[in-house]
Amino acid sequence: MQASLLTAPGSIELRSRPIPELQPDEVLVQIAAVGVCGSDVHYYHEGRIADFVVESPLILGHEASGVISKVGSAVSPTRVGERVSIEPQRACRTCEQCKRGAYNLCPFMEFYATPPIDGAFAQYAVIQSDFAFAIPDSMSLEAAALCEPLSVGIWSNQKAGTRAGSRVLVAGAGPIGIIVMQVAFAFGASEVLISDIAQTRRDAAARFGATRTLDPTQDDMPGLDVDVFIDASGAEPAVRAGIMALRPGGRAVLVGMGKDDISLPVSRIQGREIELTGVFRYANTWPLAIELVSSGKVDLDALVTGRYPLADVEAALHAATDPNALKVIVTPNTCS
């Protein structure tokens, strides 16, 4: 098969690789669509994220979908030909975190495109059968790939306790922020306000139905008194402003990746009994993600602003940093 590999920071090469061998519980997926994530861009430029360091050629890409072309010995052969969305992780299933249902926190997790585990910028990839979720005929393979960032949006809102009537503030109107906003509405939020310093991003949020868009450099944030604040920016000023915008007893959820250490308004958190947490990937979100898309409550197809073949992964990584872009898709194969 052909695969696009990160060989060094700032260097992507198209190479021939053996098609992965299957373990008994796995399926081989002919990859149709892969979304470009900010983590892919970060690995491309820096060669590492925190303690995860690229030490040998690595296939990036973890937002993936495709068609099952082969199954392991423990998987029903009737699955061949299924159109699937891939949950791109393999947990140990036996540790304390896995047994309590928080398998996203498994210390032995193998996650696509996290060194040394290869991702999906390739013609084929393998995944455990129960993490390859069949999608309805009405759902596009591009939307199926974007069930991965949608799962981040679902997990974030679940952690935030978003419910009917919630007033929600989202910081960052990039693809994750807009997905978080759509999920908040799907969960019953009565208002979703979204802030971003870029006018183009605020305009995009408005097109996707934001109740109100805010320029954090101009608009007053502390008096908003929202129930929920979800940060999808990673910017310290946005995190601080969002916490200040919460009502007493509100919840703040940190999604965006920024600096390792930031300054927080501790007296505000204490005095208003604000609950503050982070998110790390997701767990048990794919069935709901597929339902939200297939029911029309979340629109993922409209997020796609660019498509690139496997040979142009480097161009796709650069395109993903364009402030006018939302989701850039790599198409390793043509699948029906």
| Helix, coil or strand: residue 111 | strand
Cα angle value 295/111/235 (rounded, 5°): 75
pLDDT band at 259 (very low <50, low <70, confident <90, very high): confident
CA pseudo-torsion sign 283, 297, 235, 246: negative
State the average pLDDT over residues 111-116.
97
Beta bridge partners of 226: 246
State the average pLDDT over residues 291-318.
97
Q: Which residues contact 159 (CB under 8 A, 6 or more apart)?
A: 251, 253, 277, 279
Sorted by where each begins, the domain ranges of the chain are 2-146+300-331, 154-278
* The pLDDT of residue 9 is above 50: yes
Question: Can you name the CATH fold of 154-278?
Answer: Rossmann fold (3.40.50)
Range in 112-121, 195-204, 218-227 the model is least confident about: 218-227
pLDDT band at 336 (very low <50, low <70, confident <90, very high): very low
pLDDT band at 5 (very low <50, low <70, confident <90, very high): very high
Instruction: Give the separation between CA 56 and CA 118, rounded to whole angstroms.
Output: 11
Inter-residue contact 89 to 281 (CB < 8 Å): yes
State the average pLDDT over residues 106-131.
97
Residues shown for the chain: 336
Beta bridge partners of 159: none
Inter-residue contact 226 to 193 (CB < 8 Å): yes
For 46-77, what is each residue's pLDDT tens digit? 999 988 999 999 999 999 999 999 999 999 99
Question: Distances in Å between the alpha carbon of 327 and those of 85, 132, 145, 322?
Answer: 17, 22, 11, 10
For 71-80, what is each residue's pLDDT tens digit? 999 999 999 9
Question: Can you name the CATH fold of 2-146+300-331?
Answer: Quinone Oxidoreductase; Chain A, domain 1 (3.90.180)
* The pLDDT of residue 223 is above 60: yes
Instruction: Give the separation between CA 30 and CA 79, rounded to whole angstroms.
Output: 13
* The pLDDT of residue 335 is above 50: no
Tell me what percent of the residues of the chain surpass a pLDDT of 70.
99
Q: Which two tokens stand for residue 240?
A: 């601080």
State the average pLDDT over residues 303-331.
96
